[in-house]
Amino acid sequence: MKVAVIGANGQLGADVVRAFTAKGDLVTGLTHQEIELSDAHSVLKTVQELTPALIVNTAAMHHVEKCEGEPERAFAVNAIGARNLALAAREIGAVLIHVSTDYVFDGSKRAAYSEQDAPRPLNVYGNSKLSGEYFVRSTTEKHFVLRTSAIYGKDACRAKGGLNFVELMLKLAKERSGMRVVDSEVVSPTPTVDLARQMVALSRTDAYDLYHATSEGSCSWHEFAREIFALTNTRTNLEVAQPDEFPAKVPRPSYSVLENCALKKKGLNLFRPWQEGLREYIGQRGS
Ligand SMILES: NC(=O)c1ccc[n+]([C@@H]2O[C@H](COP(=O)([O-])OP(=O)(O)OC[C@H]3O[C@@H](n4cnc5c(N)ncnc54)[C@H](OP(=O)(O)O)[C@@H]3O)[C@@H](O)[C@H]2O)c1
């Protein structure tokens, strides 16, 4: 199968390229230099030239503070960009896998969100991604929209620059005698390799739909850090930060755990508990 991956040099995109390539697919990885999502002409031209059977969009403007400061740009990339891609996919008859986020929810449910729950984003980023979801779902029938959460992988996240949470914690533990991490935000840390594997599995079906796609289980950032230190035998003094110690500049959901209801209902859920994914990531670090 011919597959085009947008955002191919990103944290998730790099693993998506590897996952489809490993299955024998003919993969073209597209970087920002080769395609501009917010430009309908660039999107259509690139897609028409490549004629992939499947397009995977991992690209987004997802730095939450930047999105808040530049709402027009955030919507141009995350909403209109998603529409541009959905129109191009429909034009050539390609399937579209599009990545969305847990930040479409406000967190007030305090229990895992299903695909049936009403979204209510708290910030520009979440609103622009939700708008992108709606454009994809209403524009092209052959879509998989995957909402994910707190991803980390071996390639750096380009938007946030530098280290993922695991690497940041391990670096800080080396530099300091102790640290304080918030327990007021609850997420489902999801390895990018797991999400990429789920995409490959879905791409072999025609179960087009909106899906929650995260690791099983959940934890606060503090619990995540504790598990990282336990698995790496790192000795450090880890404490819970006070709720007002690191005030967020932009509102975020304090609870954004997603339940993979649709995947489970269709017998397609491949995700494992977040601790297992973390253990594998740590085992493979540096290899
Ligand atoms: N990080 C998380 O915890 C998290 C959680 C939930 C959902 N997500 C979603 O997961 C996806 C992947 O995240 P990631 O961590 O892999 O991001 P990343 O490392 O920042 O990669 C994003 C990629 O998109 C490209 N890009 C940005 N704007 C573009 C545009 N206008 N046109 C074409 N390409 C563009 C970037 O290129 P340049 O860097 O060269 O601009 C980069 O290659 C995003 O859709 C994000 O919303 C992430």
How far apart (Å, rounded) are the C-alpha atoms in residues 148 and 27? 23
Q: Is the CB of 97 under 6 A from ligand 1?
A: no
Hey, what amino acid is at 179?
A: M
How far apart (Å, rounded) are the C-alpha atoms in residues 9 and 157? 9
Q: Is the CB of 10 under 6 A from ligand 1?
A: yes
Q: Which of 124, 148, 151, 198 to mutate to test the pocket of ligand 1 (most atoms within 8 A of CB)?
A: 151
The dihedrals phi and psi of 191, each to the nearest 5 degrees, come to -65, 140
Annotated active-site residue in 125, 152, 255, 281: 125
Q: Whose CA is nearest to atom 13 of ligand 1?
A: 12
Report how far apart, in Å, the C-alpha atoms of 287 and of each of 15, 236, 280 are.
Answer: 15, 24, 12
pLDDT in tens, 209-257: 999 999 999 999 999 999 999 999 999 999 999 878 888 899 999 999 9
pLDDT in tens, 118-128: 999 999 999 99
The dihedrals phi and psi of 57, each to the nearest 5 degrees, come to -100, 105
Query: What local confidence, expressed as pLDDT, does residue 52 receive?
Result: 98
pLDDT(282) > 60 = yes
Given a contact cutoff of 8 angstroms between Cβ atoms, the answer to whether 153 and 15 are in contact is yes
Q: Which of 44, 58, 99 to mutate to test the pocket of ligand 1 (most atoms within 8 A of CB)?
A: 58
Q: Which residues, 6 or more positions from 195, have their beta carbon under 8 angstroms from its beta carbon?
A: 12, 15, 16, 99, 146, 148, 151, 213
Helix (H) or strand (E) holding 197: helix 192-203
pLDDT in tens, 81-117: 999 999 999 999 999 999 999 999 999 999 999 999 9
Distance 267 CA to ligand 1 centre (A): 29
Under the banding of pLDDT at 50, 70 and 90, the label for residue 61 is very high
Report how far apart, in Å, the C-alpha atoms of 235 and of each of 171, 176, 177, 241 are.
Answer: 12, 11, 9, 18
Longest dimension (CA), the chain: 57
**E-only strand ranges, the chain:** 2-6, 26-30, 54-57, 95-101, 143-148, 151-152, 178-181, 186-187, 190-191, 209-212, 219-220, 237-240
pLDDT(26) > 60 = yes
pLDDT in tens, 155-203: 989 998 778 999 999 999 999 989 999 998 999 999 999 999 999 999 9
Under the banding of pLDDT at 50, 70 and 90, the label for residue 286 is low
Question: Count of alpha carbons within 13 Å of 55, Cβ hemisphere only?
Answer: 35
How far apart (Å, rounded) are the C-alpha atoms in residues 57 and 36? 12
Query: What local confidence, expressed as pLDDT, does residue 229 receive?
Result: 96
Catalytic residue check, 125: yes
Q: Which residue has the tokens 């990545």?
A: 99
Given a contact cutoff of 8 angstroms between Cβ atoms, the answer to whether 132 and 78 are in contact is yes
Distance 99 CA to ligand 1 centre (A): 9
